[in-house]
A and B are shown apart, each in its own frame.
Chain A
Amino acid sequence: DSGVTQTPKHLITATGQRVTLRCSPRSGDLSVYWYQQSLDQGLQFLIQYYNGEERAKGNILERFSAQQFPDLHSELNLSSLELGDSALYFCASSVGTEGATEAFFGQGTRLTVV
């Protein structure tokens, strides 16, 4: 158990809909990362938040948005869903202080768009 909690574990929804994925980081971790992994694809970095502020942005579509709340949990919002958005979505957290810090990943949310 990494200590990072993602909900829900599975989500099935229709095209055009909007969903929210939730991530609770490990206690004390200030940084949250979101990744997308499509079938047989690599881990694509989407976005990173640190202590409530956006820190880095990767290949995140405009239909997707994220935020990190004062209690440090994070949500990834996916809207106008398309079949191609079906993927595993992972959240990771790290302490985010100076120096080398490892990131711990949750078990992911499997999103299926039908």
Chain B
Amino acid sequence: DAKTTQPPSMDCAEGRAANLPCNHSTISGNEYVYWYRQIHSQGPQYIIHGLKNNETNEMASLIITEDRKSSTLILPHATLRDTAVYYCIVRVRGTASKLTFGTGTRLQVTL
């Protein structure tokens, strides 16, 4: 799986958009970009994934650059409950491929 680089921490004011960047410059054509988050000591929670097109669901939006070397997870209106560690993972598509977590970005949402 390709290596990812994320800032160790970020702050965001409640109600504002949180934009979390991820660099995955060695991503290959058959690798997807996944985002998970972990709220303190809970099991990680799946957020969104994409291959090359931008994706949106009820939780977030995922913007992937045209060269696929980086992506941004957008939480449009961050709340205190979004305070968590966010993990960007690139993962080969296919049968039950391994899911490896890096160190992630610790997002602190403040009043």
A residues lining the B interface (CB < 8 Å): 2, 4, 30-31, 33, 35, 42-43, 45, 48, 50, 55-56, 58, 88, 90, 92, 94, 96-108
Contact = CB atoms under 8 A, between A and B. Distances in A.
Contact of B96 (A4, A31, A90): A31
Interface string B86-97: 010001011111
Given A98-B94, A100-B51, A90 B44 contact: yes
Interface string B19-57: 000000000000010100010011111100101000000
A99 B32 CA distance: 9
B98 A56 contact: yes
| Interface size bracket, B side | 20 to 34
Secondary structure class of chain A's binding surface, majority of residues? loop
A68 to B, nearest CB: 11
Q: Is the interface of B mostly helix, strand, loop or mixed?
A: loop
13 contacts: A2-B43, A2-B45, A30-B96, A33-B99, A42-B102, A45-B99, A56-B98, A90-B44, A92-B43, A92-B99, A94-B96, A99-B93, A108-B42
